[in-house]
């Protein structure tokens, strides 16, 4: 990781140990070992489609539940994004993506606003109870986005427009978020300074 918009954060609790590195100006390379296999899959998709380079190494009390480890990774990822963005000078700020995965279709809209807010709708009834891969509860998808959004200072709208397979829905959500995030953090040659009438984000 050699870019300027980088961060390396660690978090140690009685429930998990997280070591995370991010380069916002990467090529989508990732080394993910969250100790939660389906979450590895989702984070790898996020890195690939946002074009950030991401390294995650985590251990946690997954013998109890994946909740603690997944939540803590979301918290650290959000904080790392905020740190790597710096003052947000010269970025596009807004991003919008509509992403299909077979029968699933998800729209994500991102504003690097400095004001944490998540609107997350459209997952089908029962999605939150489904065990994806036998271990990752569907409810964790929203929970991860809450952790990222509130710790990164993003305004995010994620709308599941359709879908049947829980794996496809979850993955489409992460891919849509990744594409919208990629657009929002991209430098815009026409932007001078911070893209806000307040002069700060």
Residue 140 sits in a domain whose CATH number is: 3.30.230.40
Does residue 197 lie within any of the structural domains?
A: no
Which domain covers residue 110, as residue numbers? Answer: 6-185
Domain count, the chain: 1
Tokens of 34: 């969250």
Does residue 174 lie within any of the structural domains?
A: yes
Does residue 110 lie within any of the structural domains?
A: yes
Does residue 199 lie within any of the structural domains?
A: no
Confidence (pLDDT) at 3: 61
* Residues in contact with 114: Cβ distance below 8 Å, sequence separation at least 6, in sequence order: 88, 153, 200, 201
Indicate whether 2 pLDDT > 50: no
Indicate whether 63 pLDDT > 90: no
Q: What average pLDDT score do residues 41-66 get?
A: 95
Confidence (pLDDT) at 197: 87
Inter-residue contact 176 to 108 (CB < 8 Å): yes
Does residue 84 lie within any of the structural domains?
A: yes
Query: Model confidence at 1, in pLDDT bands (50, 70, 90)?
Result: very low
């Amino acid at each position: 990781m050699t870019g300027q918009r980088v961060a390396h954060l660690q978090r140690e609790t009685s429930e998990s140990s997280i070591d995370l590195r991010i380069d916002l100006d990467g090529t989508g390379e990732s080394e993910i070992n969250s100790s939660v296999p389906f979450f590895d899959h989702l984070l790898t998709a996020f890195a690939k489609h946002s074009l950030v380079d991401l390294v995650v190494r985590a251990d946690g009390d997954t013998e109890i539940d994946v909740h603690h480890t997944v939540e803590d990774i979301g918290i650290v990822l959000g904080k790392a994004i905020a740190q790597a963005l710096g003052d947000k000078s010269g970025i596009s700020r807004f991003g919008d993506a509509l992403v299909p995965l077979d029968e699933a279709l998800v729209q994500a809209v991102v504003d690097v606003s400095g004001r944490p807010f998540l609107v997350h709708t459209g997952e089908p009834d029962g999605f939150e109870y489904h065990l994806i891969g036998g271990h990752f509860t569907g409810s964790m998808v929203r929970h991860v986005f809450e952790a990222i959004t509130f710790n990164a200072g993003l305004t995010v709208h994620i709308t599941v427009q359709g879908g049947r397979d829980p794996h496809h829905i979850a993955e489409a959500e992460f891919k849509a978020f990744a594409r919208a995030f990629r657009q929002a953090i991209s430098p815009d040659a026409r932007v001078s300074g911070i893209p806000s009438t307040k002069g700060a984000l």
